[in-house]
Amino acid sequence: MSEPFQNAEEVAAWLSRCGVEMRMGSHGGLQTRDREKRLTEADYVIVRQWADELRDLLLNRGRAFEDLRDPEAPRCDRCDGVAFVDVPIHGGASVRRDCANPNCNRFAGFPVWYGAADPKFPPLTQSAEQQPNLPLVAQEAAR
């Protein structure tokens, strides 16, 4: 891009047009995936310059999943979101709970482990099938 970007939204839109995916890394940093290898080294310099703002943009977009009516709701320790998804594992004998923010997907615990429910995990109000913006892995696991 020949002209400088004015804000992180413009950078995110440009990356999207280039087919680049963004998400939060496991330690809270920004990760990009350029499957078609469209970005040049100069483009990656731009991404690194805007990395903090892009990370904040991702976190704020993820907060759209929050249920602000319940201030006591459990929160993700990475993105501060309150929406979670339960994913059946071990053939349905156990359940893994993850953050529902598609830019985070942080593991939150096991509400059920081989049939034994953990009382510290409140039940979710929506099943995985009812949550439209789940990460692809969670959507596939919910089927």
Instruction: For the chain, give every domain's residue range.
Output: 8-65, 84-142
Q: Taking the mean position of all CA atoms in its chain, how far away is CA 49?
A: 22
pLDDT band of 94, cuts 50, 70, 90: very high
Confidence at residue 56, expressed as pLDDT on a 0 to 100 scale: 83
Confidence at residue 108, expressed as pLDDT on a 0 to 100 scale: 92
8 token code pair: 């992180």
| pTM of structure | 0.45
Confidence at residue 71, expressed as pLDDT on a 0 to 100 scale: 64
Give residue-wise pLDDT tens across range 20-68: 888 877 677 788 888 888 889 999 999 999 988 888 887 776 554 444 4
Strand partners, 23: 31
Q: Which residue has the higher pLDDT, 63 or 13?
A: 13
Residue 116 CB neighbour total at 10 angstroms: 10
Q: Are the beta carbons of 22 and 39 closer than 8 angstroms?
A: no
